[in-house]
């Protein structure tokens, strides 16, 4: 995943040729990726209250990380910018659906924020990564990342799972650093293997629930491995998103408008696994659209 950003202290974007070869025709230097022209202009924006939209991903079976009764490793990466301080009920990515106050019988996994009882309501809410198991997703294992406020600036959030079937195999990273709580992992019920809801992945909300993300989400990716510390450092790239398309084990990467010219209601998956479709869950702005000003935005991509 390493990339060249400069050659002899000259930025790659300013280089036209190397030894007579056009920079656009060079893919690597000594085995290191040579990336030119990567831009990040657009992000997915939801600012209305109540929040009205989300992104639904096609191909649900591709994001079910269990085989033959055994969990498989996976990771989720996203750039997030909260509009509230502290941001409440920050839904990043979810597979499945659950009604408010109901037992989660149709859930597989989720990455979001919430307020467990040991945090006061005025504190920034902690992030938590949940994996639901058994026949109907009735029990779960989870890990918290501690209380963290991400309002007012872009931050990089990663959740990883090593397929061990235990909350100790789940980790959370913020801006390249492991922030997994050593005391807040829960195992509710008797977990066996990851449940199969058969339902889509949703970015920015939890279907069946009124809680939706408020702010910006960008450069969301899902991986078929437990990302290592060095992998996460490469993706974080000191705070600047970069091209990850050539990376191994990358299942999906949604650029939130940059692959689609900043228009339309389709969010292209760079890897081709499952395109996203903008969905207006509350119907305030018509089918497939967000409220005015929401949807694909060029206001504050990281």
User: Which CB contacts under 8 angstroms, 24+ apart, belong to 31-35?
Assistant: 32/2, 32/3, 32/4, 33/1, 33/2, 33/3, 33/4, 33/243, 33/246, 34/3, 34/4, 35/3, 35/4, 35/242, 35/243
Structural domains of the chain sorted by starting position, each given as residue range(s) with its CATH number in brackets: 1-37 (no CATH), 40-297 (2.60.120.200)
> Per residue in 275-301, pLDDT tens?
998 865 433 333 333 444 567 777 667
CA dist list (Å): 52 to 75, 89, 102, 168, 271: 27, 14, 21, 35, 27
Q: What Rg, from alpha-carbon coordinates, does the chain have?
A: 19
> Per residue in 101-130, pLDDT tens?
555 568 899 888 765 444 444 455 667 888
| Closest alpha carbon to 91 in 64, 120, 116, 127 | 127
Give me 243's structure tokens: 């091209």
> Per residue in 123-176, pLDDT tens?
556 678 888 887 667 788 888 876 656 667 888 999 999 999 888 899 999 999
pLDDT at 36 over 60: no
Which pTM was predicted? 0.80
Q: Between 183 and 227, where is the model more confident?
A: 227
pLDDT at 284: 38
Could you give the CA distance from residue 205 to residue 281 in angstroms, rounded to a whole number?
A: 9
């Amino acid at each position: 995943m390493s990339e060249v950003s400069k050659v002899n202290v000259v930025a790659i974007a300013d280089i036209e040729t190397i030894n007579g070869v056009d920079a656009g025709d060079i893919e690597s230097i000594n085995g290191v990726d040579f990336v030119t022209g990567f831009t990040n202009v657009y992000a997915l924006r939801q600012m209305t209250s109540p929040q009205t939209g989300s992104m639904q991903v096609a191909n649900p079976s591709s994001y079910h990380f269990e085989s033959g009764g055994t969990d498989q490793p996976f990771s989720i990466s996203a750039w997030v910018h909260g509009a509230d301080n502290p941001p409440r009920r920050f839904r990043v990515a979810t597979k499945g659906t659950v009604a408010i106050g109901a037992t989660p019988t149709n859930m597989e996994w989720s990455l979001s924020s919430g307020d467990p009882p040991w945090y006061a309501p005025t504190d920034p809410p902690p992030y938590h990564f949940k994996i639901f198991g058994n026949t109907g997703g009735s029990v779960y294992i989870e890990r918290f990342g501690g209380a963290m406020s991400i309002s007012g600036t872009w931050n990089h959030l990663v959740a990883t799972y090593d397929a061990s079937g235990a909350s100790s195999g789940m980790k959370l990273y913020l801006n390249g650093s492991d922030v997994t709580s050593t005391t807040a992992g829960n195992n509710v019920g008797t977990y066996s293997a990851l449940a199969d809801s058969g339902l889509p992945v949703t970015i920015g909300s939890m279907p069946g629930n009124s809680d939706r993300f408020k702010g910006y989400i960008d450069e969301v990716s899902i991986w078929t491995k437990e990302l290592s510390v060095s992998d996460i450092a490469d993706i974080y790239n000191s705070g600047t998103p970069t091209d990850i398309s050539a990376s191994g084990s990358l299942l999906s990467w949604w650029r939130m408008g940059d692959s689609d010219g900043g228009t339309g209601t389709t969010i292209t998956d760079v890897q081709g696994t499952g395109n996203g479709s903008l969905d207006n869950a509350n119907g305030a702005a018509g089918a497939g659209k967000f409220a005015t000003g929401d949807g694909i935005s060029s206001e504050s991509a990281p």
